[in-house]
Structure 1
Amino acid sequence: MKFLVIQQKRVGDVLISTIICNNLKKKHPNATIDFMCYTNSVDVLIGNPNIDNIIVLPHKIRKSYFSLFKFIFEIRAKKYDVVIDVYNKLETNLITLFSGANTKIAYHKWYSSIFYTHNLKRFDNTKDTNYGLAIENRLLLLEPLNLDKSTLDPFPKLFVNSKENEDTIILFEQHKIDKNEKVIMISLLGSEQNKTYPLEYMAKVVEYVAAHENVTILFNYFENQIEDAKKIYNSCSKNTQEKIHFDLLGSDLRSFIAIMNRCDVIIGNDGGAINMAKALNKPSFTIFSPFVEKKIWATFEDGLRNISVHINDFKPELIANLHHDEIKKNYSSLYREFTPELFKDKIKFFMTKNI
């Protein structure tokens, strides 16, 4: 048997979709399971024993019809039995349609029966779930394959090799990280401005974390975000700054994963960093953007190890009658209403339970 799982877009989406591969390999240990993604997400697939081959769809191929169709027929030549298209957009519709696979699975869209043999309607917000709908809807795509639901594993996993672990230990030693202190990763900035908690508010969150004894704080940010990271750092008190190792930063996604693996918890903006921390079995405290649907992305929420906050938890009247697009348009003013004082006690509770 040969399976192809397709998930484009961002790191968090790709990482969560690996649960499809993990469960397929458990059921079919001798099968070949390939995963197709964009270049930016390859690092979260490295080392996963349930993925045999990573197939990258580069940007330059996507933007050229000739190159895309050449790529499509290269996929067809691999002779997959089953294609599971989690992404379900035009480029992957075409890849799946011409793949030659007998079984083609995706989420239902009004036109999807043209491309797929199985079109499954996503769970809506009425479904009760402890996993989060992002997890539930991916497990849903396995239904046509008749896997035993009682044995399904919903937890994404990341894998850090011994060299990566050893390099991180050396890095911590170089930065004089006290082994007796708990290391807190702060997911400082979101992938976009509309997913980034206001900088002055995030500085207060860092202060709340630093108020706990015996903690060391690391910041997660990209090099092109360094000015915003400095603004948060400079807004912190001197005592808090002394607990922050501002320059201890991964050089790439794999090094971030290895650093996160040495941390104790993560706190901050929803996004790939949070999803990676959960895949490393680290407790998480997540701050959601007003327009992100918490019920989808608040995965494994249990009120102890994984806690999240959203403006709807505190001021539901502000968004109750607004369409999603309107909430997204007005994210800035809604963020202003979402002050860190609202969830200060929740951070204290999270820290107390997990540190």
Structure 2
Amino acid sequence: MIGDVLTSSILFEALRKNYPESELHYLIYPHTKPVVEHNPFIDKIIEYDSEIGKDAIKFLKFLKLIRKESYSAVIDIYSKISSAIIAKYSGAPLRLGFHKHYTQPFYTRTFNYKDVPETKAGLAIENRMQLLKAFGKNFPRELKPKLYISSKEKGSFRKKLVKQGVDFDQPLIMCGVLGSSSIKTYPKNYMASLLDTLIKEKTNGQILFNYLPWQKTQAQDIYNQCNSKTQSRIFIDIYEKSLKGFIMNCANCDLYFGNEGGAANIMKALNKPTFSIHSPQIKKNYWAIYENGKNNRSVHLEDYSSIVFKKTTNNVDLKPEYFSKELLKFMHFNLKNPNQRGANKEIS
């Protein structure tokens, strides 16, 4: 969800450049707000609490508020029943969404999902950008998602990390040790093995763990499987419960390594190098955003095996030895010169 909201924000930059006088609103879930705060292309953020959709009266009141905005166009990236109803009730003469038989009647024009990317941006970017064709103007095929953060807030969290023992004269790595679900998670023993290899070769690396609050026990299990030297380089007690806090910690890291997901998308939007491990059940070409093999790199079982996995398959066997050398090469390239580490969009 977080990655979806962040990625969809590219549409605002594209629309603003073609319609500089337009007023652009973004309807999002409240918990995703930190990834679009301070975005200069968004005029208004409308928060939609999921509880609203569970109460008919509250939902009707919300629909009336949307209708009062008198939108000339609505773009529904979500394209689910609930969002399609909102789009239809808005009364906008132009309503765009993705082609699905059960929501098509709610839109004035729909688009099919692309199967093959045409650029290095990846399908997640290209599928969104194609909806802008409905406006009939010359929009780019791709744009890169960006996070706009306060330099003051970043500095505040940097000081906090220093107090917690982080040494910024040494590389700081954000590790996505767990995915958002079991099928999106690289096996824990494999992850521990990769961390041991990483620290063995890059002894001055410092590691922060990223995981969801309910995954703390699993994260601790991965930590326990690491050898003592690796454990000494992991700040297991540094954890930000809020998305805003996590973003600020990411902004103070040098790169990302771990499971593909929202954390990797956040790091890319901060212009930080990423090395992501894809789940076999998800097509790599969808979320492999802006990969060049150097600053952004990802691996998928299909890179090393011709086996095609079905979505119901849980037995993943993307062994560490398949790509450990690639990971180390990525680390050495992106951490060799502290002065060349990724920068991010900051506001004063």
TM-score, length-normalised on structure 1?
0.90
Residue segments in structure 2 that go unaligned for 5+ positions in a row: 336-348
Task: Pick from 136, 142, 151 the counterpart of residue 146 of structure 1.
Answer: 136
1:343 aligns with 2:323: yes
Q: Distance in 2 between matches of 1:249 and 1:30?
A: 41
Q: Distance in 2 between matches of 1:234 and 1:225?
A: 14
1:290 aligns with 2:265: no
Tell me what 1:220 maps to: 210
Tell me what 1:352 maps to: 332
Q: Distance in 1 between matches of 2:227 and 2:246?
A: 26
Tell me what 2:345 maps to: none
Q: Is the 8 A contact 2:192 2:226 kept in 1?
A: yes
Q: Is the 8 A contact 1:180 1:214 kept in 2?
A: no
Q: Is the 8 A contact 1:164 1:255 kept in 2?
A: no
Q: Is the 8 A contact 2:125 2:142 kept in 1?
A: no
Tell me what 2:179 maps to: 190
Q: Distance in 1 between matches of 2:137 and 2:176?
A: 36
Q: Distance in 1 between matches of 2:306 and 2:164?
A: 43
Task: Pick from 118, 128, 134 the counterpart of residue 124 of structure 2.
Answer: 134
Tell me what 1:167 maps to: 156
Q: Is the 8 A contact 1:208 1:347 kept in 2?
A: no
Q: Is the 8 A contact 1:277 1:283 kept in 2?
A: yes
Q: Deviations over 1:245-268 (max 9, x none)?
A: 111222310011011011111000
3-state SS in 1 of match to 2:179: coil
Q: Is the 8 A contact 2:6 2:35 kept in 1?
A: yes
Q: How far apart are 1:112 and its partner, in Å?
A: 4.5
The alignment covers a number of residue pairs equal to: 334
Tell me what 2:240 maps to: 250
Tell me what 2:312 maps to: 329
Whichever residue aligns with residue 311 of structure 2, its letter is K
Q: Distance in 2 between matches of 1:343 and 1:70?
A: 53
Tell me what 2:86 maps to: 95
Q: 1:93 to 1:178 in 2, by over 3 A?
A: same
Q: Is the 8 A contact 1:184 1:217 kept in 2?
A: yes
**After the TM superposition, which residues 1-40 of structure 1 pair with which residues of structure 2 at under 5 Å, given as runs?**
10-40=1-31
Whichever residue aligns with residue 162 of structure 2, its letter is E
Identity rate, percent? 37
Q: Deviations over 1:271-313 (max 9, x none)?
A: 1100100000011000011101111111111111111111111
Q: Distance in 1 between matches of 2:130 and 2:65?
A: 28
Q: Distance in 2 between matches of 1:111 and 1:44?
A: 30
3-state SS in 1 of match to 2:148: coil
Q: Distance in 2 between matches of 1:225 and 1:95?
A: 34
3-state SS in 2 of match to 1:32: coil
Tell me what 2:225 maps to: 235
Tell me what 1:5 maps to: none
Q: How far apart are 1:214 and its partner, in Å?
A: 2.4
1:210 aligns with 2:190: no
Residue segments in structure 1 that go unaligned for 5+ positions in a row: 1-9
3-state SS in 2 of match to 1:259: helix
Whichever residue aligns with residue 15 of structure 2, its letter is L
Tell me what 1:4 maps to: none
Stretches of 4+ aligned residues off by more than 4 angstroms: none
3-state SS in 1 of match to 2:174: strand
Q: Distance in 2 between matches of 1:197 and 1:147?
A: 43
Tell me what 2:342 maps to: none
Q: How far apart are 1:241 and its partner, in Å?
A: 1.2
TM-score, length-normalised on structure 2?
0.92
Q: Deviations over 1:61-90 (max 9, x none)?
A: 111223222211110001111100001111
3-state SS in 2 of match to 1:149: coil
1:179 aligns with 2:173: no
Whichever residue aligns with residue 56 of structure 1, its letter is E
Q: Deviations over 1:139-186 (max 9, x none)?
A: 101111133235x66110111113321221211210222222111110
Q: Distance in 1 between matches of 2:197 and 2:20?
A: 47
Q: How far apart are 1:231 and its partner, in Å?
A: 0.9
More divergent stretch after superposition (127-136 vs 180-189): 127-136
Q: Distance in 2 between matches of 1:115 and 1:122?
A: 17
Q: How far apart are 1:29 and its partner, in Å?
A: 2.5
Q: Distance in 2 between matches of 1:286 and 1:73?
A: 42
- Measured on the aligned residues, the alpha-carbon RMSD in Å equals 1.5
